Structure formats: structure tokens, C-alpha cells
Structure 1
Amino acid sequence: MISANILSRQATRPGQHRVPRFTTRSTSLLLQYSLGRGLPVSHGRITRAWESTSTTSSSTASTGSHKENLFPLKLSSVLIWRPWTSEDLLQRFEGSSYSFIDPIRLVKRAINTHGQVPIKVTEIIPRLKDGGAFVKFTYPEDMSAAEVESKLSKLLHNNPIKPWFNPFGRVQTGLVEGVPWLEDLYRLPRSRIRVEFVPAKHDESPAELSQETLYSIFRKYGKISEITSQPTDSKVLPRFAYIDFVLVRDAIMARNCMHGFVLREQGSKNATRLRLSYEQRVKAHHIWAWFTSHPRIVIPLVAALIAAFTVAVFDPIREFFVKAHVQKYFEFTNSRLYKWFKSQTSDILAFRRRNTEDAGLNALFTHRKDLIDSIQTGLLESVDTFTVVHGPRGSGKKELILDQVLKERNDVLLIDCKPVVEARGEAGTIRRLAFEVGYRPVFSWSNNISSLVDLAVQSTTGVKANFSENLESQVVKILQTTASALKQVVIVIDHFLHKSEEKGVIYDRIADWAAALVQSNIAHVIFLTDDASYSKPLQRSLPDRVFRSVTLGDLSPDVAKKFVISQLQTDTKFAHDGQQQQQQQQDRQNENDDHGTTSSSAKDDDNKKEKKKNSKDRPTADPLQLDPRLLAELDTCITALGGRLTDLQVLARRLKIGQSPQKAVQEIIDSTASDILRMFLLSKSSSSTDKKYTTEQAWYLISALASSPTSSIPYNSVLLSNTFASSISSSAAAGSPETALEALANAELITIKSANGMPMEIKAGKPVYQAAFQKLAGDDKVKARMDLLVLTELAKIETKNIEKVEQELVMLQGLMARRPGDVSERVEYLLEKMKGGQKKLRALEEETGVVKGRLVKG
């Protein structure tokens, strides 16, 4: 046997890596794997088609062998840090038990395949980041290293060894012909190799190899996709070329076997040494370059793709949640467990307050049974128009529709516009609207980010990306998704036109959506509104239909009295039932005491029997009978309070806590008068400049209604009054008197009564306001202060009129000198008007002085 010392280690300083160098006749194997290439066998060795173009070099190359596919190449960046040494691997090689996952098992099988290659391993150098190892060995004298490599290659081809982590690969071996650089740098293998041409000796200049020579040298290690020579005009030294392999494993084999290989190009005097290294291939990125260079096309395309993805993924989920919201899938009160528990405990869990309110509402609904029947009959007809329930705030519209008209229907969608309109910002509005219809998931915050992206894209490229959506488009999207999830329901839209001057676009889109639903026969739509101008937006959305409108007014005095009495009777009945239960418990306790006491005296027994007899003989009071004085006093109080449902409920609650009817009504009137004074007469908030009416106009109506014997004033007389017709106050947002009256009606200070579509008279917003107006008008301090404002404005109006007359007289002065007869009549008219205005102004000033005196004495 010839022992070849193919790797000798030179002494190094501490901390310096020792670089192994091969002797002239190296015997090292490089183990790797191939992806199952079929190699033909001829004359006892593996022949390759490319060996016919071998290089004709007169120099000798250092030889050796390297084996790969021993370690997973994809984990090389992790395995590179494992502290494996050649000594450890050699000991494991000698004692290897052929474990399934042991990489040394693959080395032992590759070297000792059936014992047909008589070699002995002397050292194993692991190359974890390359996925293989260098194997040093000794071989017999009658063989050469090339013959050893040939036999091993033939045996591995006929009997492939496949690693456990890659069953489609196989272990491959190659003879090391150069001087490998065994570095431990963090340089991971690549499919491209940079071949540098360096001098074999320091005093010689190397020759640049041609592509044909490079191909003949490196083709045996695997399929080559491209060979790129250095440009001739490049000044970079040393000269180099790129060799691109199809597989990374082939590049690994070529780099480890041919690094340091010395050869002489045919026709060249000097030898050339090859220095190989991995090179990161620079990809062309044509697609990405096209995307970045065409933002006007790419950005709208990306926006469309994102929108399509959102619709395809989230819209079905949102439709499901809308259906679940309408049909109440996830509400605990609809579960069988809750219904069973409620049926078993209905006698125990009796809520007094709720039953009291239900009793009062039942009395109200009995009075309005004809109205309820008419609405229900309209819902049974075809779905072709809207049903509008109009009435002042607190008239019981919502309770009438939900608790009576639709109580037998399960699929009811209630949309309350009040929280939607009162939400802060667009994100809050979208979030509240989505909550009302059950639309989820909703990303209300994403539009803010999309707006920033739009701004950045537009500022950099000049193209609007349209990633963000405005409030109107988001509202339409939510409503369209809701419509696609609805079938045969009743949709109730509460608080329609609440604060319509702030977010009118929301009401417009809701009206359009509702019109589309009724025209498509998808759902009935019922609008609940306090605004008398509801017909304008609805008529725009459904111009060819007539609405079914129902108006809820205040209760008549008789019905209002019955409503209050029903609540008081129910409360009295509950109190009586509680007393009876306490008395029964006390009687049972007395009986238990009788049976449990054996040493009581006869006198005590007689006393107990007498108490029981008295309790049984005591007459039982009728719980439904109220104090006659209370009933008599209610007639006067309800006449002053009126028939507004919310006010009657407040009165009933005050009576329950022990207040007399007169005191309760008086406190309600005082509280209402304070609210009117604060909101309409003394309001100094920052939003007062946006009001469409003036304080003087509000006081004019209050004083006029307070002094009217019929509690109403003609509509046209208000329009012709100077306070409305000639208002010059700077706080008014709009100067027309109709606009001011409409704004005061929307604020519920007044109610405008119409006949045949024409406004005819003006009344107080609700009955209790009439009493509050009279209280304010009877307060000398309030009346003096408000009268002073009205007189001051009237004086300004007269002064302005006089100034207009004076300006016209100055203009007519030139015509008087030339043609006095033509303008004399006009001049006399203006003079009379100025005289009358001055007379009114003097009277206003005198009255203003009197009012100021009252304020000073105040």
C-alpha cells in the first residue's frame, strides 16, 4: 500500500486558521451528490460526451477527491456554525454503525462499496456549508489516483447511495485536481463561479483562457448554462470569467476540485493558476423594472386588484354577518336555553318597572289600534313604496312600529340614524353605520392610511392612486352589501333627517338605497322621522311613487289621563301584591312559631289567635282604586301639560314618588322654560353663528304665542313682521324668513300646521311649551331683556330704511333742477316715507328707554 500524505498542516500562530495544502500527488476525494444523471459506462469507466474536447496542457494538476450530499445544503447557513473537526469525523468513520441519519455512514458506504476499491481513509475534512467533505486516503502501488476515482464513480453510478434528506439525489465523488482553499468564511455556495486567472509564478504574467478551454475543463462537473468572458476594454485585474452552472451542486464540485489548478494554454509560454470563488448572479428584474417605470398603469392596476381581492374575500363574510344580525343568530335571548329558563322563572323574575311601562303603552296602543291596523295592512300589499311615520319627538313612533306593527315579524332590520350622524369623523360614521346593519369586518381606520398613501403617490408620481374612498362611496358600499344579504324583511329607519344640515349626504344615500330595495321588491321600508320636510329627499329618490304617510299627534286629554292612570294603577297593584306576599310570609312564620313553641302560656295563644282572626276579617283594598282627589286634580294638570307621550311618562314617574299633580306639572313647566331660555334665547356657543334664526325671531314667536288666546298665530303674519321680513342680524346664516321658521321647527320650538300642502298656522313645538312660553313672557326680567333686543333691531331696521331714502334723494337732486315735474311725485313719496320712518324710530327709542328703565330697576 502506498500511503499518500495528501494534506499537511503548517504551524500557525494561535487564533490563525491553518490552511491545508496538497502535495504533488494528492489523494483526496470530494464527495457530493448528483440529481440522478444517467452516465454511460464504457471500458470499465464512466465516459462522458464532453471528454473528447479535453485540454492539452503540459502542466500537471494536483489531484484529490471530494464527496458531497452528506449534509443538507439548504441548512448550510445553520450547520456552518457546528464545531465538527476532522479528528471527530475520522473516529466516527472508524466506529460508524451505519445509522440512518449519520452522514459518516454515507462516506463509509461510498468508500467501502463491497470492498472493490482497496483504499484506506486517513482523514476526513468536513465542508458543512458546501454539503460535503474532503476524504484523504491511501491506495496500492499498482493503482493511480485517477483509477481510484474512476472505480468509485463507476460503483456509485451502478449502486447509487441516496441521502435520507434527499431521496432523489445521490452521492457523487470527484478527484481534487487543484489546491482547495478551506476557508470558514460566511460565503454560501452559488450556481455562478468566478474564475480568476492568476500567475503560477510571481515573475510571470498569466494567460486568459478562452471559453472553449474553460468549457473543456469544467463541463465534466455538470451542465453549464453560460460562460461569460470579461470585456476586452475592462481594466479590472486579474482577468476573470464567469461560469454559470445549472445546479448549485455542480458549481460546488467544480470550485472545490479545480481551485488552484495550474495549466498552460496552448500557444502560451506562461502557466496560469485558476482561482475560483462563488459569485451572486445579478438578475435582470425586467418585470419589476417595467412596474417601477410605469406608475400610471401599475398603480391603478394594483388598486383594482386589491379591491377585487377585498370583494372576493370579505364580501361573503360581511353578507353572512348582516344576515346573522337581522335574524339574530348570536343573540342569547333567542337561544333555547334562555327561553326555557325564562319560562321556568317567569313568576320569580318579574321586573316591576318594565311591566309598568308595558301597561301604560298597552293603553296607548289600544287607543291607536286603527292606526296600527292600517300600517299592517299596507305592509301586506306589494313592496312598491315607502311608509313614513311622522310625528314630533316623544310621540311613541318607534314603540308603535316595533312593539305593535312588527311584533309578529322576526326579520326586522332597525337602522338608527342618530348615532350615525352624531359620530365624530368619517371613520366613526362608517363604524356606527356598519354596527347598525351588522356589517363586519369593517376597517374604518384603513381609509386614513390609504389617504396618506394617495397623497404620497400623487406628490411623487403625479398620479392619484385612488386607494382611499370618500365617505359617500363607503356608505354606498356598506348599503349595497347589506342589500345583497336581505330577502323579505322590514327595514325600519329611525331618526331619519336627524341633524340633516350636518351630514345630508348620508340621508341621500340611505334614501337612494331604500328606493332601490322597494323597486326591486326586496324589502318593506318604514321611515320614522320628526322632520316635517321628509318628502323632499324621499321624493328625489322615488319620484314616481306616492308615500304612505302616517302622522302621530299628541294624545287627547282623555287618552292622556287614561295613560297616566294605567301606569299608576299598575304600580299600585305591584305594591299591593308585595304587601300581600309579606303578610303571607308573616302568617306562615306565626304558624311555625305556634308549632315550635310548647311552653307558651294560654294567654299568648289567645293573643295569636285573635291576630289571625283580625287579619282574616280585615277587608282587602282594591289595588286599582286611586284617590278621587288625585283623579280630579289630574284633569287640570293634563290640560296644562298636554298629550306628549314623553311628558306624560315624566308626570307619571313624579306622581309615583309622591308629588302632587300640580307640583309635578309646575316643576315640568319650570324645567322646560329654563331649557328654552338656555337653548334659544341666551345661547352664546361657538355654533351660534351657524344658526339660521336669530334670538329676536325666537322671542317674537314665544311672546306672540304666549299672548294668543288660541295658542296659535297665522303663518303669513309672522312672515310679514319686521323681525322676520327685515332681519339684519349678523348671526343669521340665512336671511329668508321661511328658512328661519323651518330651522325653528326642526329645533322643535314651534310646529307648523299645513292645509293642502300650504303652511297656515304656527303653534308651540309641544303642548308643555305653550305653558313655558307663558311663564317666560310673564317674567319681567326676561321680557325686558328680550324686548330690548327686539326694539334695538327694529330701530336698526328703521335707520337702515331711512338711509336708503336719503341716498335716493341725493341721487334725485340733480334731476330736480332739470326736470322737477317728472320727479316731484317720487320725491314727495320719499319724504313722506322718511317722515313716517323717523316717527317710528322716535317711538322705538322712547319704548327702548322705558324698557331700559325697567331693567335698571330690575
Structure 2
Amino acid sequence: MQTSRRVSFNPTSIPRLRTPSAPRRDFYNAGRIPRNGWKGNCGRGIRRESTETGENRTGHITATPNEGILFFDNIFPLKLTWALRLPWQAERNLPDLLRRFNSQTLSSFEPLNLVKRAIPQSVPMKVTEILPRLKDGGAFVKFSHPDGITANEIGGLVSRYLKENPIKPWFSPFRRIRSNLVVGKPWLEDLYRFPSCRIKVEFVPTSPGGTAAELSQETLYSLFRKYGKLAEISSQPSDSKIFPKFAYLDFARMRHAIMARNCMHGLRVLEAEGGGAAGTELRLSFEQRLKSHWIWDWIASHPRVTIPAVAALLATAATLVFDPIRTFFIKAHVDHAFHIRDNRIYKWFKSQATDIFTFRIHKSEEAGLGAIWDDRKQVIDQLQTWLMETADTFIVVQGPRGSGKKELILDQALKGRQNTLLIDCKPIQEARGDSATISAAAASVGYRPVFSWMNSISSLIDLAAQGTIGVKSGFSETLDAQLGKIWQNTATALKQVALNSRKKDDKDAALGDDDWLEAHPECRPVVVIDNFLHKNEESSVVYDKIAEWSAGLTMGNIAHVIFLTNDISYSKSLSRALPDRVFRQIALGDITPEVAKKFVLTHLDSDQNDASGNDVKLSARQRQFDINELDECIEVLGGRLTDLEFLARRLKTGQTPKRAIAEIIEQSSSEIMKMYLLTVDKGDRKWSPEQAWYLVKSLASNESLRYNEVLLSNTFASSLTPSASNGEAVLEALSAVELITIKTHNGRPQTIKAGKPVYQAAFRQLTEDRVLRSRLDLAILTELTKIETKSIDKYEGELNMLGSLPRQPREVWPRITFLLGKLASSQQKVEAWEKEMGALKKVLMDEY
């Protein structure tokens, strides 16, 4: 049964698109038109038709002595070879091409028409088969010829005709169709092997078990040069053990390589042509060049250059795309463009609902703070005046925690000002890990989008690249660099916000941006940096970058910068950023007893006047009695706002001032015990419990201590705790956690006081506990005894060394006398401390 052929290269293979025509015989048609089911053979054997994989799918086509095969190239575009990668494409058969070949209705754009035009009518040949090769861009044409002419002559006539009458397809208007006679045995495979400019020529024996000769480059050149220009011939190395032997032919053009492969595959080279005694068969296959993807290969082979280059390109692209978006969001954060509380509709609804929803707590707090703002009116006016002046320096507001620094700036000095930016250093400094720190810094200024998680991924990439190529890739950036990007974008946004107030018809319109900002300090936004040097244990990149960035804002006249800090040593950090400037400073301390009393009473009056309150109302007699006690309690409590507010809330519940102050002192004592004196879960403390108790005990009897006197005490000068060996560092650490407050004079530390006024009373309460006092005094005496014992050991060792000398010169007698005196003094101290320790141990054993 004969098989039909189907087209895999032309849409006319679809029945509805096929041009209808009756099959007919003419000069080009050899034999009959096969029909399905026809089994006659007209007196000879049945001939199987060829498919795209050859006769009977063997991969080869044969030609009788009076037949030949021509290969025509440039029939199909090579760019269509991707269609052969589809899974269904390789199973399609060729159609009955001869019928279409002989059709008179072929379109000028059809490939069959190109083949028909390429064969002149004057050549005595009959086309018997057409086998298109889509991935090679050509077609095999089998023909028969009479006895008086050879296939070589016919091939020469066709080639000459195409040279004299060039035919150029529509998809390749600059290249003509070429034709050559197939001299080998072509292999019609449908594998996923696609043409290239390189051909691998294998030299195989003509019969199994035979030997093949390796053809020289001259022989290969003479055989293949007629198909196109050869760029290179590469022979197999002489010492290679790979069989069969092979050589590489590099053609200048791919179509030349396609022609050579299809015409020369299976050619037998005889002995006279250099093929050896038994002859050599050439087996040709396309070989993909090693540098077919030379760009990717070069990138992969030069990672030290390409990886940093890719990182730079990605960073540049990200900057160009995301920086304008981030600047927009920072501007919206600064000028409160999306802040709902500044919306007119929200304000209207809030004003309408004020009579329905009464927030008593906020009212009482505002009323209480009003008394303090009246007392600090001069400070508020001073701040507002500084914000209207041109001064390239910082404004620093220093005060202990709870002194109302933030409320003073935001609620009073900057009240009604739109362009303000608050940066809280506390969440940024306390964030764990670089990603969390970046996220906290970005959130404080409205910097978005922020891809903080990319920092961890890029760090892993950078680590892998460093382990592979030995250098960093540049994908990851340090925390310093990423914080610098955030602050740089913020500075750009602040400058744009400041310039938004500039108008074209302004009298200073001719000035440049920098000059205009210098001339209009009232238009600059205000940056408030809260909790600066929070937990300032050591130099931090967060504080350094903020100070450096703030200096740039101030020197560039971009914004006013106000620092709020609890640390008295802020000048050390800020002076590194602005070394040649004098800061404008405001020190906020505790309020006076008169203002403190007014603050508490205002809280109580606001609560009593609220008719909707549910708290217990005080009778006139009880209220008068409480007010008489209030003076004494405020004297103990001091003028710290947080403590006064705590007292006012307790008084609202009906407690008397004495009971409230007693509970506050008791609570403060418990905090001091847990945070400073107990050794359980001490973590990374920079002080020892003995040093903290020394200060508590000393301040309980004296309101202030001399700074240098404390440093010279044995507990601070000779502590056995490694982390507490530096006395000055210990005092700074205790000041940072607010156990004590260090007062300065002419820039040097002078006196030490309690961290809060209420701590003074708490210190006294702790020292009145006999058991606690005995326990902690015993710890101090034990440490002092160890210190003196070490000194005694040192004295005895030196005396032993001096005594071991053969003769004691007169010059060493003063030293011996000195050491003996020191030894006796230390021994007396140890004996006295042992007696005290015995008494303290007895108290601990007898009392609870």
C-alpha cells in the first residue's frame, strides 16, 4: 500500500486552503498519480513513496542508474526551524507534491513555484520526487534522465541556468537560489539537529571491519570548496584516541554549509582521491560552534567583571525607577498630604462629634500641660524665634526623661506648622538586624517602597560570589550605605518641600535655589530628632549617620534641625558633625514646686468639672485636706512630669496624697532593686550591684556626691567585675539608665544626684531595710576584702623576692619599710571588715 505525503511547511497543506485541481500528467510528472487503495503494479514491483524521513522511514533515498538528485537551497526561510521543535511537527508526512508541482494555479509565493521556476524546460529531465527540508531551508528533487546525458551534466545545466537567471525568494531578496548535484547518500533525519556554519566530517570505513583513511586538509578543501568559502579547516589532533577520526569544516555562511552537508553526506572517497586502499566514506553532521553563545560564555567566564557590572546596572535601574517614587512619598509624609487628621472633612466631623464623644483624659492632660506651658512660655518663644532666623547650627533641647521635651516642641513651638518631620531614634537603634534597622529608618521618614528583605538575599549572593571568585560582587550594601540612601532621598524631598513656597512673581524670583532658601528661613521645614543618643553605650552608625545628615541639612539651608536628647554628653557626638559651630541649647529640668502643684490641681479641677465623669468626686473637706498634704508630697516627688501625672491619676481615684506618694516610692524601690541591685538576669550590665548599692547608700544620706570622690572609692577604682573596672564608664552607664544624674560645671562632671527626685526617697526606703542593707553591705565588704587580700599577696610576694637576695643593700630598706607598712594597714582593714561581716551575717541569720 502506498503512503501519501503531507506538507509541514506550507499552509496549503490544509484541505480548505489547498487549490483544487485535477491531477494530470505532463513532462515533469513521472509515472502515475498514486491513489489510496490502488494495488496494481502494471507489471512491476510496487514502489514505496518517500516521506520526510526517506523511503520507508529509513532516512535515505536511493537513485537508480538513470536517476539523480538535486538539492535546491534558499527555498524556505531558516527562521522557521523553530516550528520543528513542536512535539506534533515531526509526525507529519509530506503531501502529494508532484500534483501541486504540476498545478497551473500555484501562487508566486509558494515554495513549489520557486522549485518549478528553478528547473528550465530545456533540460532533458523528469522530476520524480520532491522532498522539502524545512529546517535546512531547501528541497531535494529526484529526477530521471535519458541515456545520452549524465546526472552531472544535468546538474551543471541547472546550476548555470540559475546563475544566468537568478531567482530570489520574497523572504530573501538579496540571495538567489542555488542548486548542486547530490554526490553522496543524503540522510533525511528529523532529529532536533539544526544547521550551523560548522560541519563535522567523520572518516568511516566503507565496509564493517575495514579501515578508513584520514583525509588531509588539502583533500577536504578540494572536495568542499565548490559549495562555498571555507573559513577554517580543523583536523583532529594526531595523538587523539577518539575514533572514528574526524575534522571540522567552518564555512563562512550557513547556507554553504547546508549545501555541502546535503550533497556530500555518504560520499565514498576512492584510493586515487586519497581515501586509502579500501576507500573512505564521509559522514557529515552539523556541529554547533562552541562560541555560538559567546556573549553568555564570556559573561560566565569573567564573573569578576560581569557580576559587579550587573550589580551596578541593577542599582542604577532601581535608582532611576524607585527614587522618584520614594521622594514623592517622603514629601507626602513631610507635608502631611495624606494625613487624615488634617483633612477638612475629617475636621468637620470631629467638630460635630465633640459634644457627643467627650474624651476626658485628653482634656485633663491638655489642661494640666497648659500650666507648664505658661511657665515655659519664654522657652517656647525662644524656639520660635530661632526657627525664623538663618543660622547654620543645631538646636538642642536636653532634659531628663519625662521632662516634656517632645510635647514642648511638637505641641507648642511647632503648633500649626505643616512641614515638620519627626524621626524617633529609639526604634531605629533598638531594631535587631540590618533589615529591621532599614525598615525602621524608612518608616520614620515615609520612605517607600523599601525592600529590606533584599538586604539578606543580596548578602547571601555576595557571600557566595566571594567564596567563588574571591571578591565581593557588589550586590549587597552595608548598613551605612543603605541608611545613607534613605537620608539622601529625604534631603531631596525636604528641599523640594521648602521650594514649594517659592512663587514666580516673588521679589526674590531671580535668586538661585540655595540663595532663596538662605534668604527665607521661615519656609524651611523642621526636622525633629527625638531620643537622640538613646542607650548611647558606644558609637553607633545610626547616630553618626543622622548627625552627619543633619549637618548637611543645616549647612545647606534645607531645614531646621532640633535634637531632643536625655544624654548630657551629646556635644561629643554632634561636634563631630559640626566641629566649628556653637549649638543653640535649651536645658529642660524639673518644674518648680509651685508649677508642679498647679499642674496636679489643674488635672483635678478638669476632672471635677466634667459632669460626665465616672470617677469618685472628692468632698470639699477631703479636697482641702488633700491640698494641705499636697505640698509635702510634691516636695518629695519633685518636678518630673511623668511622676506628677502619675500622682494626679492616683488622686483622681480617691487616694490621699500621702498614700499615693507612698505607693509611688514603693514602686520606685522595686524598680531600683530589679534593675540595678539584683544579680539575676543582669545581662550586659556595665556596672556591678556593689557599685549601684554604693551610690544608693551614699545618696540616701547626701543629696549630692562629689564626682571624683566616687571614682576614688575602692568600689569604683578596684572593682573585681571585668565589665565594671572603668569607674567613669560605670557612672555614664548608670546615668544613661537614670539611676543617677551627673551635673556638670564648665564642661566637666562635678556632682552626682539621684536620677529622679522620687529616687531620693526610694534610696532612703531601701537603706532602712535592715536585711537588704546587711546583704548588700556584706557583698561590698566581701569585694573589698578580696581586693585587700590581692594587695596583701602582692606585698608578700615582693617582700619574699627582696628577702631572697644574698645581701640586702641599704637602698632597699625604705622599700621594705613601705611594704611592711602597707601590709599592716591592709591587714587591719581586713580584720575590721571581718568583724563587720560577722555582724551582718548575724542580722541575715536572725531576721527575715
Q: TM bucket by the smaller chain?
A: 0.7 to 0.9
CA distance in 1, matches of 2:656, 2:105: 104
Aligned in 2, Cα 1:72/1:167: closer, same or farther, shift over 3 Å?
Answer: farther
Residue type of the alignment partner of 1:424? R
Which residue in 1 is equivalent to 2:131?
A: 125
CA distance in 1, matches of 2:619, 2:178: 105
Which residue in 2 is equivalent to 1:187?
A: 193
Instruction: Indicate the SS of the match to 2:67.
Output: coil
Aligned in 2, Cα 1:433/1:749: closer, same or farther, shift over 3 Å?
Answer: same
Which residue in 1 is equivalent to 2:592?
A: 556
Aligned in 2, Cα 1:153/1:846: closer, same or farther, shift over 3 Å?
Answer: same
Which residue in 2 is equivalent to 1:526?
A: 562
Of the structure 1 ranges 486-495 and 805-814, higher mean CA displacement relative to structure 2 is found in 805-814
Unmatched runs of 5 consecutive residues or more in structure 1: 34-66, 580-620
Among 737, 741, 744, the alignment partner of 2:731 is 741
Residue type of the alignment partner of 1:666? A
CA distance in 2, matches of 1:407, 1:155: 92
Cα displacement string for residues 272-325 of structure 1 (whole angstroms, at most 9, x for unaligned residues): 6543322223349999999889x8xx7378536634652464277336514532
Which residue in 1 is equivalent to 2:678?
A: 682
CA distance in 1, matches of 2:230, 2:818: 112
Residue type of the alignment partner of 1:712? S
Q: Is the 8 A contact 2:392 2:554 kept in 1?
A: yes
Q: Alpha-carbon deviation of 1:236? A: 6.6
Residue type of the alignment partner of 1:789? A
CA distance in 2, matches of 1:793, 1:845: 12
Q: Alpha-carbon deviation of 1:765? A: 0.5
Q: Is the 8 A contact 1:190 1:280 kept in 2?
A: yes
Which residue in 1 is equivalent to 2:392?
A: 384
Of the structure 1 ranges 420-429 and 310-319, higher mean CA displacement relative to structure 2 is found in 310-319
CA distance in 2, matches of 1:173, 1:179: 16
Which residue in 2 is equivalent to 1:610?
A: none
Of the structure 1 ranges 320-329 and 268-277, higher mean CA displacement relative to structure 2 is found in 268-277
Of the structure 1 ranges 315-324 and 756-765, higher mean CA displacement relative to structure 2 is found in 315-324
Which residue in 2 is equivalent to 1:643?
A: 639
CA distance in 2, matches of 1:206, 1:802: 101
Residue type of the alignment partner of 1:682? L
Q: Alpha-carbon deviation of 1:681? A: 0.7
Q: Alpha-carbon deviation of 1:508? A: 3.2
Which residue in 2 is equivalent to 1:852?
A: 841
Instruction: Indicate the SS of the match to 2:255.
Output: helix
Which residue in 2 is equivalent to 1:700?
A: 694
Q: Alpha-carbon deviation of 1:169? A: 6.9
Among 505, 517, 527, the alignment partner of 1:491 is 527
CA distance in 2, matches of 1:705, 1:818: 50
Q: Between the two proteins, what is the percent identity of the paired residues?
A: 48
CA distance in 1, matches of 2:304, 2:274: 58
Residue type of the alignment partner of 1:691? R
Aligned in 2, Cα 1:779/1:221: closer, same or farther, shift over 3 Å?
Answer: same
Which residue in 1 is equivalent to 2:15?
A: none
Q: Is the 8 A contact 1:68 1:131 kept in 2?
A: yes
Q: Is the 8 A contact 2:219 2:274 kept in 1?
A: no
Q: Is the 8 A contact 1:694 1:732 kept in 2?
A: no
Q: Is the 8 A contact 2:677 2:693 kept in 1?
A: yes
Q: Alpha-carbon deviation of 1:744? A: 1.6
Residue type of the alignment partner of 1:692? K
Q: Is the 8 A contact 1:654 1:664 kept in 2?
A: yes
Among 336, 339, 345, the alignment partner of 1:334 is 339
* 1:75 and 2:94 are equivalent in the alignment: no
Q: Alpha-carbon deviation of 1:375? A: 1.8
Which residue in 1 is equivalent to 2:405?
A: 397
Of the structure 1 ranges 361-370 and 392-401, higher mean CA displacement relative to structure 2 is found in 361-370
Aligned in 2, Cα 1:230/1:504: closer, same or farther, shift over 3 Å?
Answer: closer
Q: Alpha-carbon deviation of 1:20? A: 2.9
CA distance in 2, matches of 1:227, 1:69: 27
Aligned in 2, Cα 1:827/1:79: closer, same or farther, shift over 3 Å?
Answer: closer
- Using the size of structure 1 for normalisation, the TM-score is 0.75
Cα displacement string for residues 463-509 of structure 1 (whole angstroms, at most 9, x for unaligned residues): 56676555445544554554455424333222222222255343334
**1:185-224 map, 5 Å:** 185-196=191-202, 218=224, 221-224=227-230
Q: Is the 8 A contact 2:327 2:492 kept in 1?
A: no
Cα RMSD of the aligned pairs, angstroms, is: 4.9
Which residue in 2 is equivalent to 1:668?
A: 664
Cα displacement string for residues 124-160 of structure 1 (whole angstroms, at most 9, x for unaligned residues): 4343433444345678999987659729964995664
Instruction: Indicate the SS of the match to 1:514.
Output: helix
Q: Alpha-carbon deviation of 1:219? A: 5.1
Of the structure 1 ranges 638-647 and 335-344, higher mean CA displacement relative to structure 2 is found in 335-344
* 1:773 and 2:773 are equivalent in the alignment: no
Of the structure 1 ranges 232-241 and 552-561, higher mean CA displacement relative to structure 2 is found in 232-241
Which residue in 1 is equivalent to 2:63?
A: 22
CA distance in 2, matches of 1:250, 1:330: 70
Which residue in 1 is equivalent to 2:431?
A: 423
CA distance in 2, matches of 1:544, 1:479: 23
Instruction: Indicate the SS of the match to 1:82.
Output: helix
CA distance in 2, matches of 1:185, 1:324: 57
Aligned in 2, Cα 1:779/1:406: closer, same or farther, shift over 3 Å?
Answer: same
CA distance in 2, matches of 1:643, 1:96: 111
Aligned in 2, Cα 1:406/1:199: closer, same or farther, shift over 3 Å?
Answer: same
Cα displacement string for residues 88-112 of structure 1 (whole angstroms, at most 9, x for unaligned residues): 6667778998689xx9x42256427
Q: Alpha-carbon deviation of 1:370? A: 1.0
Which residue in 1 is equivalent to 2:575?
A: 539
Q: Is the 8 A contact 2:76 2:138 kept in 1?
A: yes
Q: Alpha-carbon deviation of 1:674? A: 0.6
How many pairs are equivalent?
768
Among 414, 422, 446, the alignment partner of 1:414 is 422
Unmatched runs of 5 consecutive residues or more in structure 2: 1-26, 33-45, 496-523
CA distance in 2, matches of 1:216, 1:806: 106
Q: Alpha-carbon deviation of 1:538? A: 2.1
CA distance in 2, matches of 1:810, 1:231: 87
Aligned in 2, Cα 1:147/1:314: closer, same or farther, shift over 3 Å?
Answer: same
Which residue in 1 is equivalent to 2:7?
A: none
CA distance in 1, matches of 2:728, 2:218: 98
CA distance in 2, matches of 1:771, 1:156: 118
CA distance in 2, matches of 1:544, 1:760: 26
* 1:321 and 2:326 are equivalent in the alignment: yes
Q: Alpha-carbon deviation of 1:760? A: 3.3
- Using the size of structure 2 for normalisation, the TM-score is 0.76
Which residue in 1 is equivalent to 2:73?
A: 32
Cα displacement string for residues 411-442 of structure 1 (whole angstroms, at most 9, x for unaligned residues): 33333222222122334334433443445555
Cα displacement string for residues 501-538 of structure 1 (whole angstroms, at most 9, x for unaligned residues): 25534333433333344334333322211111112222
Of the structure 1 ranges 691-700 and 622-631, higher mean CA displacement relative to structure 2 is found in 622-631
Which residue in 1 is equivalent to 2:521?
A: none
Among 639, 648, 654, the alignment partner of 1:652 is 648
Q: Alpha-carbon deviation of 1:383? A: 3.5
Aligned in 2, Cα 1:372/1:181: closer, same or farther, shift over 3 Å?
Answer: same
Which residue in 1 is equivalent to 2:254?
A: 248
Q: Is the 8 A contact 1:110 1:156 kept in 2?
A: no
Instruction: Indicate the SS of the match to 1:506.
Output: helix
Of the structure 1 ranges 627-636 and 782-791, higher mean CA displacement relative to structure 2 is found in 627-636
CA distance in 2, matches of 1:284, 1:150: 35
Residue type of the alignment partner of 2:81? L
Q: Is the 8 A contact 1:222 1:250 kept in 2?
A: yes
Q: Alpha-carbon deviation of 1:391? A: 0.7
Cα displacement string for residues 592-617 of structure 1 (whole angstroms, at most 9, x for unaligned residues): xxxxxxxxxxxxxxxxxxxxxxxxxx
Q: Alpha-carbon deviation of 1:327? A: 3.9
CA distance in 1, matches of 2:846, 2:220: 117
Which residue in 1 is equivalent to 2:184?
A: 178
Aligned in 2, Cα 1:846/1:231: closer, same or farther, shift over 3 Å?
Answer: closer
CA distance in 1, matches of 2:87, 2:96: 16
Which residue in 1 is equivalent to 2:704?
A: 712
Cα displacement string for residues 218-255 of structure 1 (whole angstroms, at most 9, x for unaligned residues): 55544543444566787876665543333333322332
CA distance in 1, matches of 2:793, 2:283: 105
Aligned in 2, Cα 1:257/1:68: closer, same or farther, shift over 3 Å?
Answer: farther
Q: Alpha-carbon deviation of 1:755? A: 2.9
